[in-house]
Amino acid sequence: MSYRLNPVYARLPVTVFERMSQLARVHDAVNLGQGFPDDAGPEPVRRKAAEAVLDGWNQYPPMMGLPELRAAASRHYQRWQGVSLDPEREVMVTSGATEALAASLLALVEPGDEVVLFEPIYDAYLPLALRAGATPRFVKLTPPDWRLDENAIRAVVGPRTKAVLFNNPLNPTGTVFTRDDLETLGRALAGSDAVVIADEVWEHVIFDGREHVSTLAAPSLADRTIKIGSAGKMFSMTGWKVGLVCARPELLSAVGKAHQFLTFTTPPSLQAAVAYGLDTQDDWIHGMRAALEAKRDRFSAGLRDAGLKPLPTGGAYFVNVDLGPLGVDDDLSFCERLVTEGGVAAIPVSSFYAEDPVRTVVRFCFAKDDAKLDEAARRISAFLDRRRPQAREK
């Protein structure tokens, strides 16, 4: 027989993150590709999860999430972002932000609807939007600032626009959008019925004293926002897959209907531990920011010593480098050579584009032990020296 598979997934390769991690293992490379920290996360939170497994309830928790986690999320977002949320009607727990994204798109989109995506796009967005039946409309953000342009957004928003996927801080560029950017988005969407699916998983990973302004805290956007957070990013434990979804009751209830047949629930032990963490780990979060900021600066200095110019990073634990000045015009083959010959894994930023990609930029994850960052910078320098000996001798 021939398998008649859904073409959206049948045509997709395995994700670039998985592929680069695999190559890193085979070639014993320093893995600065897939974004996951070396830090183990706050110990009291990990202990809570362990205790909850041993002593607690390991059966299905409520479909919308443990009440104590929804209440803790409401307190946490009030304290950190000034948003008021009714824990019973405006907060839901999912199995990671990825499930929240899928549930939001499935709850909103009908075939023929349009979904606006900003490029560079986080890799899950386009396949999920297509599988939900959406026609994608792209808005390209451009370096070095990657700011939102009202006219460019207006140009793709119309009566068929169901949703806008908006990632702030933005993976892979590290851009932190400001209150002004959110007002720009609000003006561009005024008069439309578009819902903003606001992927704020990097909300706590921001540097240099910046403030994360939630889309739910922007008056012009709050009523049309589905805010998505991820405990995996908040507490540097990416394997935990505990997502938080916040929206007005009518919107949240629709997303809940999709969630109930995607995963239905999320392990109660992890939910209980995240609830504890949201209430008690503010100092740890401040410490994480300071530690990551120091790592960003350390690794950026190493890149500069290797002759590269890192692009600015305001949030998320990634630093990007434009290799155009070195004559690189195919970031994917550069990354393949860097991991196989140079012993460092990175992510080609072209994989964050659907059409007409930027092909000169690569992304490095700096949430790693200092010794690894130093070794990676040394290896990158040696790789570049081997690659262009004449140019580097000048």
What is each CA distance from 325 to 321, 322, 360, in whole angstroms? 10, 7, 9
Name which of residues 95 to 114 contact ligand PMP (CB under 6 A).
96-98
d(CA 266, CA 263): 7
Stretch that binds ligand PMP, among 91-99, 190-198, 252-260, 369-377 (CB under 6 A): 91-99
The reply on whether position 212 binds ligand PMP by CB under 6 A is no
β-sheet with 135-140: strand ranges across: 91-94, 243-246, 225-230, 195-199, 161-167, 114-119, 135-140
Binding mask of the shown chain, residues 159 to 178, with x at each position contacting ligand GLN by CB under 6 A: ------------x-------
Name which of residues 34 to 63 contact ligand GLN (CB under 6 A).
34-35
Phi-psi region of 210 (alpha: psi -120 to 50; beta: other; left: phi over 0): beta
The site partner of 357 among ligand PMP, ligand GLN, none (C-beta below 5 to 8 Å per kind) is: none
Contacts of 291 (CB under 8 A, 6+ apart): 39
If one counts every other C-beta atom within 10 angstroms of the C-beta of residue 18, the result is 12
Would you say the C-alpha torsion 128, 134, 135, 138 has a positive or negative sign?
Answer: negative
The reply on whether position 167 binds ligand PMP by CB under 6 A is yes
By CB under 6 A, how many residues form the interface with ligand GLN? 5
Among 232, 267, 277, 348, binds ligand PMP (CB under 6 A): 232
114-119 and 161-167 strand pairing: parallel
The reply on whether position 215 binds ligand PMP by CB under 6 A is no
Binding mask of the shown chain, residues 10 to 29, with x at each position contacting ligand GLN by CB under 6 A: -----x-x------------
Among 171, 225, 265, 269, binds ligand PMP (CB under 6 A): 171
Helix/strand number for the chain, H first, E second: 16, 12
Mapped onto helix, strand or coil, the DSSP state of residue 363 is strand
Question: Applying CB under 6 A, which residues contact ligand GLN?
Answer: 15, 17, 34-35, 171
Question: Applying CB under 6 A, which residues contact ligand PMP?
Answer: 35, 96-98, 122, 167, 171, 199, 201, 230, 232, 238, 241, 243
